[in-house]
Structure 1
Amino acid sequence: TWLTCEETEDRAGEEGMTKDHGYVFEVDPEDRRANREPKPVKALGRYAHEAVVIDPKRGHAYLTEDASGPNGLLYRWTPPEHFRHGRGRLRALADDAGVLQAFKCFDSGGKFVDDLSRATKTGTVYGVDWVDVPDRDARTTSVRKQFAAGEVTRARKLEGMWWADGGAYIVSSYARDESPGRPHDGQVWFYDPKRRTLTLKVLLGVNADPSADGAFDGPDNITVSPYGGLVIAEDGDGVQHLFGATDSGRTYPIARNELNLGTEDDPEYSEFTGVTFSPDGRTLYANIQTPGIMLAITGPWKRQKRR
């Protein structure tokens, strides 16, 4: 099965909605009957979900929230005792199964970090604690608004995630005036559950001219390359790319979307999405969101040298 996320928290009666939204759903690609009446996995919380990954060793689910006013959170769901992931098992859970928590970061001196935009250089390492969510179904108050200042760490536009190397790679798309730290046009973090640390792997400075080729902004979907480093889908301003990042955080272009949906004088390019490699590592798949094109990129690929 796969998990799909609702990137909204609209309630029934709002915007024409007939049901509450903001949930994760388990989809069975082989059994249509299981999908005819979708059942939300309420145990994972109701908020503006972006992505979810599963720790195959410990069973935790990690979830990003793409929200502002205030900025969103990174969540961890701990399954109930003796739970094992498998086909249809999340869908069968009770609404209050397991424990949903939000992250809280500390710097090397033990000082609380209120927002990930505080990090100004790659290699920054934060310690991580987890704080229980009071009301995961957000019956009266959005989950991210249930915490007072100093209780949790926030980030603007927490986006794609990918599980590899024993942990979760996590994207924060950008930071501007709504974030208390330094503005940036993208971060990629790595959470190590064994050490309970969060390390900044990639940092994109503010892109002064998004219409020019060669600079990147607004990372979104992400995958880990079998040849080393990361492949990232851009959802920024101006020109849109697939780009790579080495283990040292250096970025480089892979592909550019040249399908202009606007005009010659006012060009518009849709974002790349859904980047992932085939199981044999030979083909990189990616989508262009509008008008809806799937691409298969066969390389040639070369293993990166570690620097």
Structure 2
Amino acid sequence: MERRRFLSRSAAVAAGTALAAGPFQGVAARAEHGGGRGRGYGPLKPVPDARDGAVRLHLPEGFRYRSFNPAGSPLSDGTATPGRHDGMAAFRGPRGSVVLVRNHEVNGPVGAFGDPATAYDRAAGGGTCTVRVTPHGEVLGAHVSLNGTQMNCSGGAMPWGSWITCEETVNGPDVGDDFTGADNTLLEQKHGYVFEVPVHGRGRARPIRSAGRFAHEAAAFDARSGAVYLTEDNFGFPSGLYRYLPPRHPMDAGRLLDGGRLQMLAVKGRPGADLSVGQPKGAVYATTWVDIDDPDPTFTGRPANDVAIQAVGAQGRERGAAVFSRLEGAVVHRGVVYFVSTQGGAPVTQPPPSGFGDGRGQVWAYDTRGGRLRLVVESPGDVRLDLPDNITHGPRGTLVLCEDGDGDNLMRGLTLRGELFDFARLEPVAGDSGAEFAGSTFAPGGDTLFVNVQSRAGLSFAIRGPWRRGPF
């Protein structure tokens, strides 16, 4: 077992370093402020769903899709699929199948789905489902893989065979009422953690407390150092970029261990640098990291949710950590962590979006070897890039950005030349103007792009087509 883990670790490190000609090889090396207009795969047109013929997506010529596992449909054990489909990762399954581990961003003390005896918190309605499908999106089996968590937003695929799922909240019985007004005293446990879910089987429902209690969004793993990079989506307040340094390299341990050190990114020579505002073209910063002394606070007197949700980040900012606006998706490619600031950048529309940050989005790149931070792209307007959220990359390194904008909801590509292009548009969901793409992830081999639509209900898609004629 140890030898296999060593070989797997070596392969993962090689994948992140062997092809890298420099610290910003690929997208971050060529991108320009604002991003050029790329051709991508051509204009979008309505395409019927292979499942029932309804038009749900607009795609380029030659692409097709099938939806599956909508909210309310039964899993293999009879449990109804929860709603609010969000972050997701795809893993190689048996006999050519694909295993998807998918988040459900359910808030409030609404009761756990699945077996309450296995729940982390029997009152909380979020968690993950694991779904085994064909590359065409035909469901072969599905089960509850973590329940009793809350607001499971995004996360990250880990090369030792796990999904790290992230709670975007700090709710708990020690915190005042949720921002929706829900009574947090009905919860049994503290929330705001990351949990590990194995590709096969169930998660152990044990939070990694040393990785922090804050509004977690995404996780990205650096195989060379063993660090897990964590984004924070603090909607109404400043956010930060974190890294968790576990006590043992996860590729050796075979899992993510608790008991490590949590740190927050800072800009050298510029304590408290505000990177949420408009940035100069090609901005590059030397960085350092500051320690978080109390990553897992327990509150007394039930402070307001707005106070509790800033408690961990405030420790970092007191030591000079950089300020971002709503950090959401994150992914590692060739030793670079690409992450999204949803409302970062200079104001480009009036009125600005609600929440912290007046821009329409930034994409940043952090070089894990040299410690440099670079702006990849900053939105010049919502027509080009509108509040990017989840992020992944294709087989050739082109980034896939899921938007969370106010009008048409799109998936866009960001090419190695720094060009933005439209890849998919969501047909408006009747009665749900907030429906958005989430959880995009390519299957092993790159022939299928899986993605979710998060809405009042929710469902998943398998998209296939002539990938090789374009930049993905």
**Residue of structure 2 aligned with 1:247, choices 382, 391, 416:** 416
Give how far 1:149 is off.
Answer: 5.3
Give how far 1:282 is off.
Answer: 1.4
Give the direction of change, closer, same or farther, for the CA distance of 1:216–1:69 in structure 2 (3 Å limit).
closer
Aligned partners of 2:364 and 2:373 also within 8 Å: yes
Give the direction of change, closer, same or farther, for the CA distance of 1:27–1:280 in structure 2 (3 Å limit).
same
Q: TM-score, normalised by structure 2?
A: 0.56
Give the direction of change, closer, same or farther, for the CA distance of 1:86–1:233 in structure 2 (3 Å limit).
farther
Give how far 1:148 is off.
Answer: 4.7
Q: Deviations over 1:157-200 (max 9, x none)?
A: 100001112121100001468768xx420111111011101111
**Residue of structure 2 aligned with 1:24, choices 189, 194, 200:** 194
What is the rounded CA distance, in whole Å, between the counterparts of 1:40 and 1:123 in structure 2? 38
Q: Unpaired runs of 5+ in structure 1?
A: 208-213
**Residue of structure 1 aligned with 2:363, choices 155, 165, 188:** 188
Aligned partners of 1:173 and 1:185 also within 8 Å: yes
Partner of 1:166: 335
Task: Determine whether 1:286 maps to 2:451.
Answer: yes
Percent identity between matched residues is 39
What is the rounded CA distance, in whole Å, between the counterparts of 1:151 and 1:113 in structure 2? 4
Partner of 1:102: 264
Query: After alignment, is 244-253 or 271-280 more displaced?
Result: 244-253
Q: Deviations over 1:36-94 (max 9, x none)?
A: xx1111121111100011111110010001115540111011122x533367632xx34
The higher-RCO structure (CA 8 Å, 6+ apart) is 2
What is the rounded CA distance, in whole Å, between the counterparts of 1:131 and 1:66 in structure 2? 19
Aligned partners of 2:328 and 2:339 also within 8 Å: yes
What is the rounded CA distance, in whole Å, between the counterparts of 2:280 and 2:409 in structure 1? 24
Task: Determine whether 1:258 maps to 2:427.
Answer: yes
What is the rounded CA distance, in whole Å, between the counterparts of 1:240 and 1:272 in structure 2? 7
Aligned partners of 1:221 and 1:233 also within 8 Å: yes
Q: Unpaired runs of 5+ in structure 2?
A: 1-161, 176-183, 300-307, 345-351
What is the rounded CA distance, in whole Å, between the counterparts of 1:281 and 1:296 in structure 2? 12
**Residue of structure 1 aligned with 2:211, choices 39, 44, 49:** 44
Partner of 1:211: none
Residue 219 of structure 2 aligns to a residue whose secondary structure is strand
1:74 aligned partner, one-letter code: L
In the TM superposition, 1:203-282 aligns within 5 A as 203-207=378-382, 214-262=383-431, 268=433, 270-282=435-447
Residue 27 of structure 1 aligns to a residue whose secondary structure is strand
Residue 43 of structure 1 aligns to a residue whose secondary structure is helix
What is the rounded CA distance, in whole Å, between the counterparts of 2:288 and 2:356 in structure 1? 21
What is the rounded CA distance, in whole Å, between the counterparts of 1:71 and 1:174 in structure 2? 11
Aligned partners of 1:6 and 1:50 also within 8 Å: yes
Aligned partners of 2:173 and 2:187 also within 8 Å: yes
Aligned partners of 1:272 and 1:288 also within 8 Å: yes
Task: Determine whether 1:3 maps to 2:161.
Answer: no
Task: Determine whether 1:125 maps to 2:284.
Answer: yes
Give how far 1:298 is off.
Answer: 1.4
Task: Determine whether 1:200 maps to 2:362.
Answer: no
What is the rounded CA distance, in whole Å, between the counterparts of 1:6 and 1:249 in structure 2? 32
Residue 364 of structure 2 aligns to a residue whose secondary structure is strand
Over the residues paired in the alignment, what is the CA RMSD in angstroms?
2.4
Aligned partners of 1:70 and 1:145 also within 8 Å: no
Residue 101 of structure 1 aligns to a residue whose secondary structure is strand
Aligned partners of 2:384 and 2:420 also within 8 Å: no
What is the rounded CA distance, in whole Å, between the counterparts of 1:13 and 1:133 in structure 2? 21
Residue 159 of structure 1 aligns to a residue whose secondary structure is strand
Residue 136 of structure 1 aligns to a residue whose secondary structure is coil
Give how far 1:292 is off.
Answer: 1.6
Give the direction of change, closer, same or farther, for the CA distance of 1:31–1:179 in structure 2 (3 Å limit).
closer
Aligned partners of 1:233 and 1:242 also within 8 Å: yes
Aligned partners of 1:239 and 1:269 also within 8 Å: no
Aligned partners of 2:264 and 2:316 also within 8 Å: no
Give how far 1:119 is off.
Answer: 4.4
What is the rounded CA distance, in whole Å, between the counterparts of 2:235 and 2:404 in structure 1? 17
Q: TM-score, normalised by structure 1?
A: 0.83
What is the rounded CA distance, in whole Å, between the counterparts of 1:87 and 1:238 in structure 2? 45
**Which has the higher Rg, Structure 1 or Structure 2?**
2
Report which of the two has the higher share of helix.
Answer: 2
